Amino acid sequence: MENVTLLMAFGGGLLSFFSPCVIPVIPSYVSFITGISFEELTGEQNRGKIMKATLKNSLFFIAGFSLIFILLGASSSFIGELFSQYQGSIRKVGGVLIAIMGLYIAGVFKIGLFSRDIRLHLRNKPAALFGSFVVGAAFGAGWTPCIGPVLGSILVYAGTAHSVASGVALLSAYALGLGIPFLITSLAINTAISFFRKMHRVMRVASVASGVLLVAAGIMLFTGTLDMLSRYASMI
């Protein structure tokens, strides 16, 4: 798998994490999967015990949504392989869809599908670490207004990939981009909250910039430039 597209997928995961409707709920997710109150998470008592519990539960949570994303990537690539004779058309349609999603993220227009939250809402977390895995899978199965366009764009590109392994690699990179900042945030939640409050001021600018990048990626996919760039990078 070409390094350029893997890097873009990883960046897509980072973008999903730092989106306006994901960051505010991160402390709630950390508290929910660990079973530790927000006051205890941000306090000074029992830090060693709390950090250990946070680390283990966060890793299982990340594993849960990573599995869902990887399965989606494999499915998209498998479907793309079934229609390999139409790869040229799929690539062009995919480029248009990615550009549309970029315009949505930039705020040019609204898309009703992405404004609906169809996540699985768990009122009670199942027991122990397996419960954190299940909550992570439920999180990954959500199609939220923030995650949907970016994840959808990567899945569209995965559908144009040359093999199921390529789709798995793409969505693994995406999950890594989403999982790393979640893990860092959960282990340093006080610092992260302070940073997020400052970052809130530039969220709109970041959304527009991200949308423009997606539009550019869609155009490159439509014209075949993205594949040529990836092949060139793999030769370096």
CA 214/CA 15 separation, integer angstroms: 11
Q: How confident is the model over 12-68, as pLDDT tens digits?
A: 888 888 877 677 778 888 888 888 887 888 777 887 888 899 999 999 999 999 999
How does DSSP assign 95-124, residue by residue? HHHHHHHHHHHTTSS--GGGG---PPPPSS
Q: Write out pLDDT tens, residues 113-152.
A: 555 554 545 556 666 788 889 888 888 876 555 677 788 8
Cα(175)–Cα(6) distance, rounded to whole angstroms? 11
- Cα(165)–Cα(150) distance, integer angstroms: 20
Sequence-ordered list of residues with C-beta below 8 angstroms from that of 187, at least 6 positions apart, any chain = 51, 54, 55, 58
